[in-house]
Amino acid sequence: MTAPDPLTLLDRAVEQTGNVIAHAQPAQAGLPTPCRSWDVQALVEHMVHDVDQFTAAATGGRPDWSRPASAVANGWNEAFRDRAGALVAAWHDAGDLGEVVHLPIGDLPRSFVVNQQIAEFAVHAWDLARATGQDSSLDPVIAGQALAWAKAALRPEFRGPEDAGKAFGPEVDADDDAPMADRLAAYFGRDPAWRS
């Protein structure tokens, strides 16, 4: 059985993330998340910021990750979904996903970038679901594709303590029979048993 094409999975990942954001409540803004330095508010703002940066990548630009995320005081769901449509449309208009593009880590096909975005949405949907008491099992096909991408792309030098400027912590053990989303979170350095 073959996995859905990357754009189909991106559509599903964006929709899943939007659904998790839609069920997060403003009263939960100050709750902690599995991302140690972010509360729920900061995590949602990061997810909205991701969409803007990912759209730049989809349209052939270079994302500016040094630019801080903008404040999203209310209307989290609207802020995410207003941008998400442009992201999905941009990728559908981008052309051949096999075309090689120049990235800071090397020359890679466009599909690598799409799968990176799927992984980012998948793991942060898990983060937000856990932080806000939602079901975090999520779509196993999305999580499985994200985990396959991460195992191929997440180099050891990207891991380490947050105060050392590393984006990912050390891999955490997860049971082989754990939900796929928990296994993905563990690979990205989250404790799969984390609860707010």
Residue 151 inside a domain? The answer is yes
pLDDT of residue 151: 94
What is the domain extent for residue 37? 6-65+73-187
Residue 195 inside a domain? The answer is no
pLDDT at 188 over 80: yes
- Model confidence at 3, in pLDDT bands (50, 70, 90)? low
- What CA–CA distances, in Å, run from 102 to 6, 13, 60, 99? 19, 25, 10, 10
CA distance 151 to 84: 26
Residue 78 inside a domain? The answer is yes
pLDDT in tens, 94-113: 999 999 988 877 788 999 99
Residue 194 inside a domain? The answer is no
- Model confidence at 40, in pLDDT bands (50, 70, 90)? very high
CA distance 3 to 108: 20
Residue 192 inside a domain? The answer is no
Domain of residue 81, CATH code: 1.20.120.450
Between 14 and 74, whose confidence is greater?
A: 14
Residue 52 inside a domain? The answer is yes
pTM listed for this prediction: 0.94
Lookup: tokens for 37: 């330095």
pLDDT in tens, 116-140: 999 999 999 999 999 999 999 999 9
Residue 152 inside a domain? The answer is yes
Lookup: tokens for 1: 């059985």
What mean pLDDT comes out for the span 80-100? Answer: 94
What's the domain count of the chain? 1
CA distance 22 to 171: 29
Residue 123 inside a domain? The answer is yes
- What CA–CA distances, in Å, run from 19 to 81, 129, 136? 10, 10, 12
